[in-house]
Chains A and B, each alone.
Chain A
Amino acid sequence: DGGITQSPKYLFRKEGQNVTLSCEQNLNHDAMYWYRQDPGQGLRLIYYSQIVNDFQKGDIAEGYSVSREKKESFPLTVTSAQKNPTAFYLCASIPGQGDYGYTFGSGTRLTVV
């Protein structure tokens, strides 16, 4: 079945380390998104990509980086510059502009220890 796979489900990071969250989709969707969720908060956009080899900053991009080398993959790196990285991260995709049938992954819960 088509969908989005996020891994790992749980991730622990030591302060000062970079970590990479994986997001893979087999839906042939053009656009992919990364959202961050904090307790009691809605989802906030970190980065998005509408085509391969192109991506744009969202509302809270500082301390994060992404790449889009393949259509099906949109990994998110949480760098040491992100001061408060403990959160729940959700990846999403849509077929393309004008088709807003979002598909979400099951999320990665990142904790700084």
Chain B
Amino acid sequence: AQKVTQAQTEISVVEKEDVTLDCVYETRDTTYYLFWYKQPPSGELVFLIRRNSFDEQNEISGRYSWNFQKSTSSFNFTITASQVVDSAVYFCAIIAGVGGSQGNLIFGKGTKLSVKP
């Protein structure tokens, strides 16, 4: 079975601080996809990144960066120079049954990030 653990329930930082959101996953599959989503107070899920299990290269997109390490089953997300608009709940997720028949996303419980001015 697949599982995603986001140990940090809530994080509070002051604007311009860097912050890292942790994500640890469990799967027996060798092929899988990992995701990060942002959920602002309005409720919709905003896609941030998708990474497949064969691509361990770190990714940087503006102030966002992702560190994927298969050795520790982690897919951590860092926001550099945080801004108030980054305040949201962030979810890490994994695809279950890649190559099978499901394609269902398994979510962690989320980390609520509050960025104070």
* A binding-site residues for B, Cβ under 8 Å: 31, 33, 35, 40-45, 48, 50, 56, 58, 88, 90, 92, 94, 97, 100-102, 104-107, 109
Contacts and interface: CB of A to CB of B under 8 A. Distances in A.
Given A40-B9, A40-B109, A42-B110, A100 B104 contact: no
B109 A50 contact: no
A105 B6 CA distance: 24
B113 to A, nearest CB: 14
A97 B42 CA distance: 29
Given A100-B33, A100-B95, A106-B43, A31 B103 contact: yes
B91 interface: yes
Interface of B: 4, 6, 9, 33, 35, 42-45, 47, 50, 91, 93, 95, 101-105, 107-110
Given A31-B103, A40-B109, A42-B108, A104 B44 contact: yes
A50 B104 CA distance: 11
B104 A33 contact: yes
Contact of B43 (A44, A48, A107): A107
7 contacts: A35-B105, A40-B110, A42-B107, A42-B109, A104-B45, A106-B44, A109-B43
Contact of B104 (A48, A90, A101, A107): A48
Contacts of A45: 104-105
Given A43-B105, A109-B43, 4 more contacts: A31-B103, A40-B9, A41-B109, A42-B108
A56 B100 CA distance: 14
Contact of B44 (A35, A40, A97, A107): A107
The 4 closest A-B pairs by CB, nearest first: A42-B107, A104-B45, A106-B44, A43-B107
